[in-house]
Amino acid sequence: MILPSDDDSAPSDAPAGPLAGIRVLDLSTIVAGPLGAALLADLGAEVLKVEMPGEGDHIRQLPPHKDGISLWSKVTNRNKRGVTLDLRDPRGRAVLERMLPSYDVLVENFRPGTLAAWGLDADRLRKLNPRLIVTRVTGFGQTGPYANRPGFARIFEALSGFVNLCGDPGSPPTFPGVPVADVLTGVFTAFSVCAALVQRNADPAGEGQEIDLSATEAMFRVMDFMAIEYDQLGKIRGRTGNLNAYSAPGDVYRTRDGKWVALAVSAPAVFRRLATAWQRPDLLADPRFVSNADRLSHREAIEAIAQAWFGERTLVEASSVLLAHDVSFSPIFDIRDIFNDPHFEARKAIVSVKDDQLGWVRMQGVVPRFSKTPGRVWASGPEAGQHNADVYGAEMGMSDSVLQELREKGVI
């Protein structure tokens, strides 16, 4: 069982990491933009989450919930402080304009032209803060015929070609159980912001820039060789189920005790070790299996051997043999397995953090790890508007009467 560590009990207002000192204004919603901002926060950036008064970020409406509290938001908006502000109201935009000069980065995922329609076009933002890095996260980019289409992760996964690869041959395309496109776009968001910060900070007088990040293009980018393969070979890949499209044997195997195992034999040396582990040196001389290309050409035969070997052994028995011969494999874990796995525990891949609503909660740790300036999880996602008084009152100097008026008008 993973309990709160010394780091987990540190003060809740203590962000740390290589991005300490960077200030980020997160206007985005749901997953992609907020996750990108959270990754920056994990590494020490001071991130302020801005939500609509009343309804808040729509992620709060998505399951899972506990006692009506969004668990997803606790992770995607972790390490952030939170305020509410209606940017559709001129008074709300006036508050935002007061805030912008003190921030390094703005992350937004409105449809293209939305901020401009509210009077916050690129020229206005640049005038308010010439060094501001504006990251625009959208489904299809700021330009092109699809720019103003609505979209969510499933749309980007479908359009990018990703889903066409997922599922069994002859079956409908299969979506993954998590919004992969949103998650990948979040990673691209954090990566692109860091790159822009390096460029800007190289010159003390350097100006910021705009980042046009398309979730569809982010998803398409990680398809890697698919485009050049089609360009040069005319090949259109389809669904192969659990079979590894690039090496054999490579499938999901059921053990005698009903467990599932994944096997990866992508390098010649690994197949040699696998044949030794199976006590089948004859496979190394069999012309059907000499090279990876040969094994792919005779996939059915090598997969039958693999299925039979695993089917005759329990997971513990198969694992013992494969580990002894340095073969790359893994049992297929569910989340309970991960919580109880000694490697995840030794790495502190799951950390505990105190939440104002739920008490101690556990979630993933910071990735990656820095030797000199490690990041940390210091707070779970805030309630909508949790820090209104701190930010608007104590830090921006708004009087209680002004704050009350803004509340009554629904601006905050």
Q: What angle, rounded to 10 degrees, do the helices at 180-201 and 32-42 form?
A: 50
- Rounded to whole angstroms, the Cα distance separating 21 from 328 reads 41
- Rounded to whole angstroms, the Cα distance separating 19 from 61 reads 31
Total count of residues recorded for the chain = 412
Question: Residue 350 pairs with which residues in a beta bridge?
Answer: 364
Active site residue 57: no
- Rounded to whole angstroms, the Cα distance separating 309 from 230 reads 36
In this structure, the number of other CB atoms found within 10 A of the CB of residue 90 comes to 12
Q: How many CA atoms lie within 13 A of 265 on its CB side?
A: 31
Question: What pLDDT shows up at residue 307?
Answer: 98
| Residue listed under structure tokens 């100006």 | 207
Which residue among the candidates 26, 104, 182, 251 is catalytic per the annotation?
A: 182
Question: What pLDDT shows up at residue 14?
Answer: 64
* Order of strands, sheet of 210-214, starting from the edge strand that comes earlier in the sequence: 80-84, 46-51, 23-26, 105-108, 133-138, 210-214
Quick check: 210 and 125 in contact, CB under 8 A?
Answer: no
307 burial class (0-12, 13-18, 19+ CB within 10 angstroms)? middle
Token reading at 234 = 């005319």
Estimate to the nearest angstrom the gap between the alpha carbon of 88 and the chain centroid.
Answer: 29
Q: Output helix, strand, coil percentages for the chain, rounded to the nearest 5.
A: 40, 15, 45
Pairing label, strands 69-70, 80-84: unpaired
Token reading at 69 = 């509290």
DSSP state of 173: P
- Rounded to whole angstroms, the Cα distance separating 245 from 374 reads 37
What stretches in the chain show pLDDT beneath 50?
Answer: 1-12
Pairing label, strands 260-263, 329-331: antiparallel
Look at residue 350 and give its three-state secondary structure.
strand
Go through the domains of the chain in sequence order and give each one's CATH number.
7-224+349-408 (3.40.50.10540), 252-337 (3.30.1540.10)
Q: How many CA atoms lie within 13 A of 304 on its CB side?
A: 5
Question: What pLDDT shows up at residue 13?
Answer: 58
Distance separating the N- and C-terminal Cα atoms of the chain: 41
